[in-house]
């Protein structure tokens, strides 16, 4: 009996040690959030070491509406199902004023992704259809896999939920071309995700803002490639005022600079 208890204790200590190594709780990042009066989480995953650093672990494991970060998967599904033939195929603007001149024009996936053009991705989702969309979400195991809502808004106000930790896991599979899509399509989507490029690093990313719900959530997810490593990140935070949306990128850049990943 004593031997069994001792063995159990050793196993528990070992597991807790491994978890601590893989999720090095980084309270030093708290000032980055607290000085801005922002409640959120940030996870940074080092592909080379397989270890992650996390601020606000409980929130990191909690699932939220993906909002426009779902455009990454929507792009993959749309290309794979031939809802659109390439990232440079044009979908004509329907003439509706969407409140932003940059949206009020013809779009390709290459232009729509960085603009987070909602109408373009709604049209792609309608072309894919609810049956195939659900099939691919299930195949990927994206978040809770529950669509709910309508085919053209479920990621904005439906039942789909995903955690920051799951976002990182999804992006890691994309980086390694391990998602259930052709390598060609995975490479194309990674290409159109590039939002910042310098001599020292390339940033692939996507923002998200769940603003059709009462408790609004902001996202910034992606990865940074340097000459010798790749880091995946996911941030989400509460958006209480329109001004809070700017902190998605600013907090991420502050942490990446603090970690010496970008300069």
Q: Which DSSP string do the residues of 147-170 spell out, in sequence order?
A: --S-TTTHHHHSS--EEHHHHHHH
* In the predicted structure, residue 93 carries a pLDDT above the cut 60: yes
Please tell me the predicted confidence (pLDDT) of residue 28.
81
Give the ranges where the chain is alpha helix by DSSP (H).
Answer: 2-22, 30-34, 57-60, 71-80, 109-115, 118-128, 130-140, 154-157, 164-175, 183-192, 247-258
Query: Which is more confident, 12 or 36?
Result: 36
* Angstrom distances, CA of residue 35 to CA of 22, 31, 41, 103, 223: 27, 6, 14, 34, 25
Point out the catalytic residue in the list 16, 48, 62, 68.
Answer: 68
pLDDT interval class at 19 (50, 70, 90): very low
Residue 68 falls in the annotated catalytic set: yes
Lowest mean pLDDT among 14-28, 45-59, 210-224: 14-28
> What is the end-to-end Cα distance of the chain in Å, rounded?
56
Handedness of CA 99, 221, 186, 261 (dihedral sign): positive
Question: d(Cα 136, Cα 125) in Å, to the nearest integer?
Answer: 12
Write down the residue that tokens 């009020």 correspond to: 104
Give burial (CB, 10 Å; 0-12/13-18/19+) of 5.
exposed
Please tell me the predicted confidence (pLDDT) of residue 14.
39
Arithmetic mean of pLDDT over the chain: 93
* In the predicted structure, residue 244 carries a pLDDT above the cut 80: yes
Q: What is the mean pLDDT of residues 115-143?
A: 99
Please tell me the predicted confidence (pLDDT) of residue 149.
81
What are the boundaries of each domain within the chain? Answer: 24-258
- If one counts every other C-beta atom within 10 angstroms of the C-beta of residue 11, the result is 10
Q: Does domain 24-258 have CATH number 3.40.710.10?
A: yes
Q: What is the mean pLDDT of residues 61-75?
A: 98
The pLDDT tens digits for 157-210 are: 999 999 999 999 999 999 999 999 999 999 999 999 999 999 999 999 999 999
Please tell me the predicted confidence (pLDDT) of residue 25.
61
* In the predicted structure, residue 246 carries a pLDDT above the cut 50: yes
* In the predicted structure, residue 15 carries a pLDDT above the cut 80: no
DSSP three-state, residue 254: helix
* In the predicted structure, residue 54 carries a pLDDT above the cut 60: yes
């Amino acid at each position: 009996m004593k031997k069994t208890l001792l063995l159990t204790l050793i196993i528990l200590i070992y597991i807790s040690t491994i978890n601590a190594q893989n999720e090095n709780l980084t309270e030093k990042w708290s000032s980055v959030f607290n000085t801005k009066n922002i409640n959120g989480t940030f996870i940074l995953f080092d592909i080379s070491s397989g270890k992650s650093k996390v601020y606000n672990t409980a929130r990191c494991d909690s699932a939220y509406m993906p909002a426009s970060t779902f455009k990454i998967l929507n792009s993959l599904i749309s290309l794979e199902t031939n809802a659109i033939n390439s990232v440079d195929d044009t979908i004509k603007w329907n003439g509706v004023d969407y409140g932003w001149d940059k949206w009020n024009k013809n779009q390709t996936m290459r232009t729509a992704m960085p603009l987070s053009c909602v109408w373009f991705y709604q049209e792609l989702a309608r072309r894919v259809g609810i049956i195939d969309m659900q099939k691919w979400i299930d195949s990927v195991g994206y978040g809770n896999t529950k669509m709910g809502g309508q085919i053209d808004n479920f990621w904005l106000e439906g039942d789909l939920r995903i955690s920051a930790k799951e976002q990182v896991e999804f992006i890691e599979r994309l980086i390694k071309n391990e998602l259930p899509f052709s390598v060609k399509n995975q490479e194309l989507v990674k290409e159109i995700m590039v939002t910042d490029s310098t001599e020292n690093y390339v940033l692939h990313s996507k923002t998200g803002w769940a603003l059709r719900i009462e408790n609004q959530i902001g996202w910034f997810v992606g990865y940074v490639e340097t000459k010798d490593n790749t880091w995946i990140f996911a941030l989400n935070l509460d958006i209480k005022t329109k001004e809070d949306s700017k902190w998605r990128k600013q907090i991420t850049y502050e942490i990446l600079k603090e970690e010496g990943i970008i300069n």
